[in-house]
Amino acid sequence: MVRAMDLPRQSAARNGGELSSLPRAIRPADPGHAIVADLRVLRRALDAAGVPMVPLITTIGDYHELGDLPVRVADRDAFVIRSARGGDRGTLPVARVARGFVGGPGRFFTQGDLCRYVGHILEGAFVDGAHDAAVIEESVRASSLFPALGAAGAWRVSIGTRGGVPTSAELHGLDGPVSRGSAPPGAIILGLDAERGVVERFWHRAPIGTPYPETAAGLLGKRARAWPSIHEVACRAAATIDLDELAIELIVDPARGPLVTSATAVQEAPVRVPVPRARDGERRRHIRTA
Judge whether residue 78 has pLDDT over 90.
yes
Judge whether residue 145 has pLDDT over 60.
yes
- How much of the chain exceeds pLDDT 90, in percent? 51
> How far is 117 from 108, CA to CA, in rounded Å?
12
pLDDT at 195: 94
| pTM as predicted | 0.76
Residue range 108-138, pLDDT digits in tens: 999 999 999 999 999 999 998 888 999 999 9
How many other CB atoms are found less than 10 A from the CB of residue 255? 6
Whether the Cβ atoms of residue 53 and residue 44 lie closer than 8 Å to each other: no
Arithmetic mean of pLDDT, 94-102: 93
Q: Could you give the residue range(s) of every CATH 3.30.1490 domain in the chain?
A: 56-139
CATH class of this structure's domain 56-139: alpha beta
> How far is 48 from 258, CA to CA, in rounded Å?
17
- CATH of span 1-55+140-290: 3.30.470.20
Which of 76-85, 170-179, 235-244, 257-266 is least confident? 170-179
Judge whether residue 186 has pLDDT over 90.
no
Whether the Cβ atoms of residue 226 and residue 258 lie closer than 8 Å to each other: yes
Q: Could you give the residue range(s) of every CATH 3.30.470.20 domain in the chain?
A: 1-55+140-290
Q: What's the whole-number average pLDDT of the chain?
A: 79
Confidence class for position 146, pLDDT limits 50, 70, 90: confident
Whether the Cβ atoms of residue 53 and residue 47 lie closer than 8 Å to each other: yes
Whether the Cβ atoms of residue 118 and residue 177 lie closer than 8 Å to each other: no
pLDDT at 10: 46
